[in-house]
Structure 1
Amino acid sequence: MKTTISQAPKFLGQEVTIGAWLANKRSSGKIAFLQLRDGTGFMQGVVAKNDVSEETFQLAKNITQESSMYITGTIVEDKRSPFGYEMQVSNIELIQEAIDYPITPKDHGTEFLMDHRHLWLRSKKQHAVMKVRNEIIRATYQYFNENDYVKVDPPILTGSSAEGTTELFHTKYFDEEAYLSQSGQLYMEAAAMALGKVFSFGPTFRAEKSKTRRHLIEFWMIEPEMAFMDHDESLEVQEQYVSFVVQSVLENCRLELDTLERDTSTLENVKAPFPRISYDDAVTLLQEKGFDDIQWGEDFGAPHETAIAEHYDKPVFITNYPADIKAFYMKPDPNRPEVVLCADLIAPEGYGEVIGGSQRIDDLDLMKQRYEEHNLTSDAYKWYLELRQYGSVPHSGFGLGLERTVAWLSGVEHVRETIPFPRLLNRLYP
């Protein structure tokens, strides 16, 4: 019977064959312990000299790291291992012997590991991070599908910018100018006017020359947009969605979180509702905490966000930022037009902003005014203005950065480990 490591517990007491690679090994006299991986998980194979042929035992003792094989044996319980099961090996069929595998069990520098990212992905901790990422994606689709959202794919090549052109990658589109998308939001607004509640999930690009642990050049965004929904209703969606994803990861990635040595106590507390603090009160709080550099009207940096998050035991919404530091499409507060109906969701433990969202301007005259203020008078934005001209309704949306969320839930320090092949300021390889 051919199976996988993740399915092996279903075959307790039975002999199975698994296609696997050797992650590590140790041997002691008449027994060899093979640490196996097959992409679905990690499991130990025990090779006892008295239970196998001499040829198989010598192969087990001499097989090299990352060599590939078909390995056959009986699945038994092993309460000492995190997985809970191991294989009592009866036969090994070598597929390919790996010679001089460059990533050994010793410590390596980050740059070396990034140069060998195509191989580093095979390691136990990187495997665990990718499984957490996959669960976030799976839970995202489940949440939005179960709540009657329609998946829509906005274009990656655009003729205009969502939030200004200073951080866009420019390219030629035949005889026209084009950009790599920094957000699908404007297109998602059009989709919401057609389909009601929509969400996108895809790559976005920021030509931001940043080297911080929170930034990537290419990253993935989940961007829902909802017609007939105001700002407060959108905040409820955001906290319910994030709570659902976090609890799904806790339920379905327990082994991976253990591998990552993630303290899950703060994650277990992530359940709606989340606390909220206005931008005004956040500025006051920061000044009380000794951040004399921050004044009303200035945006928050990473240290400011971390200080605010430390004041709470859950993710926290910072609401109603000044209009001058937010995007042109955000709806002003009717009672206080110098601030907009928006919020950033700040994750605990110093992981920073994971969601940015707002209610969008739905008034045609106000949007025309914004166009003039931001010099958006070109034909490239005509279609976006028409959304306010033909059946405009109150609508809201948000964007969640996948890699920052993966970093937060898996507990890794840098977002470069949360995407299979990171694109950084000075890295386009591999």
Structure 2
Amino acid sequence: MKTTIAQIGASLDQEVTLGAWVANKRSSGKIAFLQLRDGTGFIQGVVVKAEVAEDVFQIAKGLTQESAIYVSGRVQADERAPSGYELIVHKIEVIHEATDYPITPKEHGTEFLMDHRHLWLRSKRQHALMKIRNEIIHATYRFFADHGFTKLDAPILTSSAPEGTTELFHTKYFEEDAYLSQTGQLYAEAGAMALGRVFTFGPTFRAEKSKTRRHLIEFWMIEAEMAFLEHEESLQLQENYVAYLADQVVRHCQTELKLLDRDVSKLEAIRAPFPRITYDEAVAWLQENGFSELQWGEDFGSPHETALAERFDRPVFITNYPRALKPFYMQPAPDRDDVVLCADLIAPEGYGEIIGGSERIHDYDLLTEELTRHNLSLDEYGWYLDLRKYGSVPHAGFGLGLERTVAWFGGVDHVRETIPFPRLLNRMYP
């Protein structure tokens, strides 16, 4: 009976066949231990010389790293194994013999591993991170479906720049100028006016010449827009969403988190409601705690965000940033016009901003003023203004960066490990 490593527990004490790759191997004169993987997980295959035909044992001893095989044997419980099982091998059929596999069990430098990213993905650590990423994606779809959202697909090629052209990739769309999208937000707003609640999920691009561990040139964003929802209601939805993601990863990725040596108690502490501080309060605290040079009106860098986050055991919202720091579409606060109704959600443990969101301007005249103040073309944004001309309502939205969230949940230092094929400032291969 064919099965997979993920399903092998259902065949305890039975004979099964796996299609697998040999991740590693060690052998002596009487026994061979095969570290097998099939994409669904990892398991050890044990080949005992006295219990198999001589040719089977010789095949086992000669297997090379990443050779592909069909392996048959009896499933046996093993409490020491990460999966709880091992396979007592009786038969091996070689599908393809790999030679000189470049990523050996020894240590390799980061650049070497990045040059071989197409192969590095096969390792246990990278497998675990991709599984956590996958769980976050699936949990996202479940959460939004349960909260009345419709999935909307925003275009990747756009004719305008939602947050300014300095961080956009320019291209030609036949005879017209075009840009790779830096957000699906504006299109999601149009979707919200048609469908009430929508979310987008897709790649976004920032031509930002940054080399920090938090930045990628191409990354994936999960963005939500909600009609008839104001700022405070949006914050409640965001914290419930992030808490749900953490809960689902803890529930469904125990093996992966253990392999990554992740302190699961840190994730279990992610429970709504989250603490909130205003930008004003954050600046005052930072000035009193080692950042005296920081002035009101300046944006926070990584050291500022990390210091603020260390005060809490869960993510913290920093609300009401200065209007001058934020994009044109954010609604000014009702009691003062120098700050906007927005929030950045800062993750603990130094992982920085996970979510950025705001209430959007819904007044036609005010949005027109803001577009003009930012030197943006009213013709180019005519369709966006139409959303305020025909049945405008209060609405809000937010965007979550997938790779930063994977890094945070997985407890890894750099986002380059959280996406299958990272695009960095000096890397577009493979």
d(CA) in 2 for partners of 1:293 and 1:310?
A: 20
Query: Displaced runs of 4+ in structure 1, greater than 4 A?
Result: none
Partner of 1:167 in structure 2? 167
Q: Which residue of structure 2 aligns with residue 64 of structure 1?
A: 64
Query: Aligned residue for 2:302?
Result: 302
* 1:182 match: 182
Secondary structure, counterpart of 2:166 in structure 1: coil
Alpha-carbon distance, 1:380 to partner: 1.5
Structure 1 residue 305: Cα displacement? 0.3
**Equivalent-residue separation in structure 1 for 2:108 and 2:293 (angstroms):** 39
Q: Deviations over 1:361-411 (max 9, x none)?
A: 001111111011011124211000111111000000000000000000001
Q: Which residue does the alignment assign to 1:231?
A: 231
Q: Secondary structure at the match of 2:19?
A: strand
Distance in 1, matches of 2:151 and 2:82, equals 37
Aligned twin of 2:268: 268
Note the alpha carbon deviations across 1:193-230, whole angstroms, 9 max, x for none: 00000000000000000000000000000000000000
SS state of the match for residue 340, structure 1?
coil
Paired letter, 2:290: G
Distance in 1 separating the partners of 2:161 and 2:416: 25
CA distance in 2, matches of 1:301, 1:393: 34
TM-superposed CA distance for 1:48, in Å, is 0.3
Partner Cα distance (1:103, 1:340) in 2: 50
Structure 1 residues 40-79: aligned runs within 5 Å: 40-79=40-79
User: Alignment length, in residue pairs?
Assistant: 430
Supply the distance in 2 between the matched residues of 1:28 and 1:336 (Cα, whole angstroms).
76
Q: Distance in 2 between matches of 1:38 and 1:227?
A: 45
- Cα separation, 1, equivalents of 2:426 and 2:85: 43
> What percentage of residue pairs aligned between the two structures are identical?
70
Q: How much does 1:27 deviate?
A: 1.1
Provide the residue aligned with 2:313 in structure 1. 313
The aligned residue for residue 209 of structure 2 is: 209
AA paired with 1:64? T
Give ranges in structure 1 of 5+ residues lacking alignment.
Answer: none
Q: Which residue is 1:151 aligned to?
A: 151
Q: What residue in structure 2 maps to residue 283 of structure 1?
A: 283
> What does 1:365-376 correspond to in 2, within 5 Å?
365-376=365-376
Q: Distance in 2 between matches of 1:245 and 1:221?
A: 15
Report the alpha carbon displacement of residue 288 of structure 1 after superposing the two structures with TM.
1.3
1:409 counterpart = 2:409: yes
- Which residue of the partner structure matches residue 101 of structure 2? 101
The TM-score, its normalising length taken from structure 2, stands at 0.99
Letter in 2 for 1:15: E
Residues 371 and 378 in structure 2, CA contact (< 8 A), matched pair in contact too: no
**CA distance, structure 2, for counterparts of residue 21 and residue 52 of structure 1:** 20
What aligned pairs does 1:79-94 form with structure 2 within 5 A after superposition?
79-94=79-94
**Letter in structure 2 aligned against 1:334:** P
- 2:239 and 2:378 mapped to 1: Cα distance? 37
**TM-score normalised over the length of structure 1:** 0.99
Runs of 5+ in structure 2 lacking a partner? none
Whether the aligned pair in 1 keeps the contact of 2:224 and 2:397 (CA below 8 Å) is yes
Checking the alignment, whether the CA contact within 8 Å between 2:277 and 2:317 is kept in structure 1 is yes
Q: Which residue identity is paired with 2:246?
A: V
Return the offset for 1:62.
Answer: 1.3
**Distance in 1 between residues matched to 2:81 and 2:277, nearest whole Å:** 45
**Distance in structure 1 (CA, Å) of the matches to 2:264 and 2:307:** 21
Paired residues of 2:278 and 2:318 also in contact (CA < 8 A): yes
Q: Return the alpha-carbon distance in structure 2 between the equivalents of residues 50 and 69 of structure 1.
A: 21
Alignment pair present for 1:257 and 2:251: no
What is the one-letter code of the residue matched to 2:386? E
Answer yes or no: is the 8 Å Cα contact 2:362–2:388 preserved in 1: yes
User: SS at the partner of 1:339?
Assistant: coil
* Equivalent residue number for residue 348 of structure 1: 348
Q: Say if 2:32 and 2:60, in contact at 8 Å, map to a contact too.
A: yes
Counterpart residue number, 1:25 = 25
Moved more, 170-179 or 377-386: 377-386
Determine whether 1:138 maps to 2:138: yes
Return the alpha-carbon distance in structure 1 between the equivalents of residues 105 and 292 of structure 2: 47
- 1:409 aligns to what SS in structure 2? helix
Structure 2 match to 1:34: 34
In the TM superposition, residue 293 of structure 1 has moved relative to its aligned partner by 2.3
Aligned: 1:194 with 2:194: yes
The SS at the match of 1:187 is helix
Corresponding letter in the other structure for 2:179: Y
SS of equivalent residue, structure 1 residue 427 = coil
Shift of 1:28: 2.4
Letter in 1 for 2:45: G
